[in-house]
Structure 1
Amino acid sequence: MAYSDQAPGTRRIATIAGVAVIHGLLGFAFVTGMATNFVRDVSRTLTTTNVPIDTPPPPDTPPPPEQTAIAPTSASTITAVVPRVPTPAASSTVSVDLVPAPPLPFPPARIDVAPPPPLPPVVSKASPVRAIGNRGSWITTDDYPGAALRAEEQGVVSLAVQVGSDGRVTGCSVTASSGSATLDSAACRLYQRRARFEPARDDAGNAVATSYNDRVRWQLPR
C-alpha cells in the first residue's frame, strides 16, 4: 500500500518538472526569437550614412606641457599626473634698456624784418657863452686901485665867472692870483658890475647856465 502511494506521487512530480522545463525552453526560445527579430528590424530601419563635414583647421595652440606619470606601487594606488613646468634656458644675452634720444629741436622760423629807415640827423642848436661888446672896455687903467698904485703892484689875474641863463654874471672866483689881493678883488668886482654875456644854449636851443673863463692884466700906467 505504501509503495503504490509513493509511485504515483513520484511520477507526478517528474511530470510537473518536465512540463516546467518544456515551458521554460519555449519561453526562452520565444524571448530569444523576438529579441533577434527586434534587433534585425531596428538595424534594417535605422540604417544611417555618415556624411563628411568640412571642419576648419584647429587654431595654433601651444603644445601641452609634458606630463610624467608616476608608476603605481600597488593595485589600489591611483596614478597621479604631475605637469612639467618648462624652465627658461640659461642665456648669456644681457638685456640693455635703451634710452630714447631726445627729439631734435626745430630751428626757429626766420622772419626777415626790414630795418626802420634812419632818422634824419638832428641839427644841434647848442652854442657856447659869448661876451657882448668890447671886453677891453670893462676894466681900464682908470680903474686901477690907488693902494695898488702906491704899492706899485701889478700882474695878471685868472677869473672863472658864473653866467646865468639870462646872461648876467652870478659869481666870480680867482683861479690864479696876480700876487696882489687888491688887484684880484678889484677884477672880480668890476666883472660882476660891467660884464654882459649871451647865455649858452643846449642842443634844443634852450638857454642854460654856464661859466666863462677870462684873464685881466693889471699894468702900472707910465
Structure 2
Amino acid sequence: MTRPVKIAGEINDARDYPTPPGGRDVRKGRHVVVYMLVGVDGRARDCRVVEASPDAEADRRTCDLAERRFRFRPARNAAGEPIEAVFGWRQDWF
C-alpha cells in the first residue's frame, strides 16, 4: 500500500491571503495543518483544519487553495489499484 504523493500545485505567494486585521504579523511565524481526502483521480477534497492558526480566514483559504491547486499521484492498495486516502499539509507563514 502506498500513500498519496503531491506532484503539482503550490501555495507560496503572500497575495494568496488577505491581510488580516492587525496586519500580516498576526500569522507571521505560525502555521496551519489541514487534512484532505485525495481521490483516485488525484484531486483533493473535503479539506479540514486539524491544527488552527490565529487567522481563521487564512486557515479556510489554505483549504480552498489546496483543493484547487494540488494534484497527487493517488495512494494504491496492495494490488496496485488507486484508492482514496488522507493527505496532511502544513502551511507555514514567514
For Structure 1 versus Structure 2, the TM-score category normalised by the shorter chain is 0.7 to 0.9
More contact order relative to length (CA 8 Å, sep ≥ 6):
2
User: Which whole-Å deviations, capped at 9, do the CAs of 1:63-107 have from their partners, x for residues lacking one?
Assistant: xxxxxxxxxxxxxxxxxxxxxxxxxxxxxxxxxxxxxxxxxxxxx
Deviations 1:171-213, CA, capped at 9 Å, x for gaps: 1000000111111111111111101101000010110000001
Q: Which residue number corresponds to residue 143 of structure 1?
A: 16
Q: CA RMSD in A?
A: 1.8
Matches within 5 A, 1:19-30: none
* Range 139-148 or range 191-200, more displaced: 139-148
Question: Greater CA radius of gyration, 1 or 2?
Answer: 1
Q: Secondary structure at the match of 1:165?
A: coil
By how many angstroms is 1:142 displaced? 2.2
Identical-residue share of aligned pairs (%): 30
Does residue 182 (structure 1) correspond to residue 37 (structure 2)? The answer is: no
Q: State the TM-score, normalized to the length of structure 1.
A: 0.38
Q: CA deviation at 1:149?
A: 6.6
Structure 1 segments unaligned to the other structure (5+ residues): 1-125
Residue 191 in 1 paired to residue 61 in 2? no
Distance 1:199 1:148 in 2: 38
Which structure has more strand as a fraction of its residues?
2
Provide closer, same or farther for how the CA distance between residues 131 and 151 of structure 1 changes in structure 2, counting only shifts above 3 A.
closer
Deviation >4 Å, runs of 4+: none
Give the alignment of 1:125-136 within 5 angstroms.
Answer: 126-133=1-8
Q: How many residues align?
A: 92
